[in-house]
Structure 1
Amino acid sequence: MALISVAELQAELGGGRPPVLLDVRWALGGPDGAQEYARGHLPGAVYLDLETQLSRPRRTGEGRHPLPDPVALQEVLRGAGISDDTRVVVHDAATSTSAARGWWVLRWAGLADVRVLDGGLAAWTAAGGVLTTDVPLPGPGDVTVRPGSLPVLDAGSAAALARTGALLDARAPERYRGEVEPVDPVAGHVPGALNLPTTQNLDATGRFLAPERLRERFADVSTGPVGVYCGSGVTAAHTLLALEVAGIPARLYPGSWSEWVADPSRPVATGPDAG
C-alpha cells in the first residue's frame, strides 16, 4: 500500500524496524519548508528539499522541476540513512502534494517500500503526535539508486497518449482552460488532455479518498494507458499516487506544461474541452 495512516505509523515507529521518515514540505511561493521543519517536525524525520534534492537545476528546454541527478540523489538518500531494504515514509504539511513527489522520485530511483503519510503533519498533530526541533543524525545508508525504475513520458509520448489513451492534466481548471497562467509563459493545455484536478483526490480532511471512490473518479480513463502532467511534475505525482491507490497503472510526464511550452512549435489548446 502506498499510504500509511498516523496510527499505523505510530505502531511501526514503536516496533523493532522503524521506517526512515522524510519531511519534504514544500509549496509554490512558500512558506519555506526548511524553516517550517526547523520550527517543529516528527521525531527522527530528515528534511529533504524538493527544489535542490528531489529535482536538479533546470536546463534550457526543460520543465521547472527536472528529475534529480541519480548520483546526487544517491548521496542524499544515503545521508538520510537509507539502504536498499529500508522502509521509507514521506510526508509534507497536510495535502501530500510534495510528499507524493518524494514518493514518486524514490520509487523511480528503485526503492520498493515507500509510503506517504496520509494527511501529513496536520494529521499527525491532530492525532496528538508530538513534534520536536531536534535534528537527527542518521547512520549512513548504502542504497543504490536505479533511475528509471518507474516509466516516464516525454513530450512526444505525452502527445501521442493524449490521442490514443488518456493524458490527465492535474492542474486547476482555469489553468487548463487557459484563462489564467500564474507561473508559465503560455496558458492552455496539451491538445487532447483531460482535466482532473489534483485537489479532487482528497476528502474534506485532506486525506486521500478511499480506493473505491478513487476508482470511481478514474473510471472513464482506466481502460487504457494513462499518463499525468501538471505545471512542473509535482502535483501530477499526487494524481499518480491516487491512481496507485486505485490500482490503476500510469506514467508521469516529468517535464509537464513548463517543458511543453518551452518549445514554441508545440501546439496549445484552450477552452473547456480537450483538443
Structure 2
Amino acid sequence: MNDTTRHITVIGIGSGDPGQLTLAAVRAMRGTDVFFILDKGREKSSLVRLRRDMLDEHVTGPYRVVEAEDPWRDRSRDGSAPYAEAVHDWRRRRADVCERLIRDEMAPGQRGAFLVWGDPSLYDSTLAILEDITARGNVAFAYEVVPGISSVSALAARHRIGLNRVGRPVRITPGRRLTETAGNEDGDIVVMLDAHESFRHLSGDSTWIYWGAYIGTPDEILISGPLSEVADEIHRTRAEARERHGWIMDTCLLRPRSGEDTP
C-alpha cells in the first residue's frame, strides 16, 4: 500500500558552521523531497545562502527548495502590543505561511523539511507552529525532529569552557527576563535573544562574561572577561558588526566569580 501521508522533518543544522551538521541531519536531508525556507529579507540573505550551500554539499538526489517571505514581526521593546500578544500574532501569521507551503508545495507521500538554526527545541518557533497547523485540521501530516548543535553549546566550545560548574545549575533566559534571573550567585546564566544588551545593566564587578556572535561562521566574534571591563567593548563591537552585516545573532554566558571558579 502506498504511503499517502505528508511527512515533515524539522532538522537542526547548528549555529552556522556547516561542520556542525550531524550524521542524522545529513541522513534526513538526503531523504527529503522539498525544503522550505522562510526568507527574512535581503539583510539576512546570507542565512539562506548558508542553507543552500549545505544542501549542495550533502544532498545527492533530486530535491526542490521553496522560499517564502517570513512575516514581519515587531521586535521593539515598547511595541504597540504586549510582548506575548505580539509573538502569538506573529506565530499565527507564520503558521498561515507554513500551512500553505505544506498543502500546496508537497504532494501526499512526499517528505518536506524545515532547516532550523541551532536546535529546534531552544527558542525556536517551528515546533509550536507545526502544532498550531495540526490543531487547525486543514492539512494532515506527520512530523519528526532531528536535534542540532545549539548556539549555547557552540559558545561554550569556542570559549573552551563548561556550561556548568560542579554541583551548580545553569539557567537559560531571553535578554528581556535577565533582570529577574540575575543576582543568584548559585549558578550561571545563558542569555539569548538579547537585542537590548541587558547584561550591561548588571553589576560587573563580580561577573565574568563569555560572549559570542555569528558563532561558527567566518564572521565569528568572541570576547570574554570581567563584565565591568569588557561590557563597553562588546557594545561597540556588537554595534559595528550589526551595521556591517545588517543583522546579528549573539549569545553570552554570565558567570559569577568566586574562589576557584574565577578564570
Task: Note whether the superposition's TM-score is higher than 0.5.
Answer: no
TM-score, structure 1 normalization: 0.36
TM-score, structure 2 normalization: 0.37
Which structure has more strand as a fraction of its residues?
Answer: 2
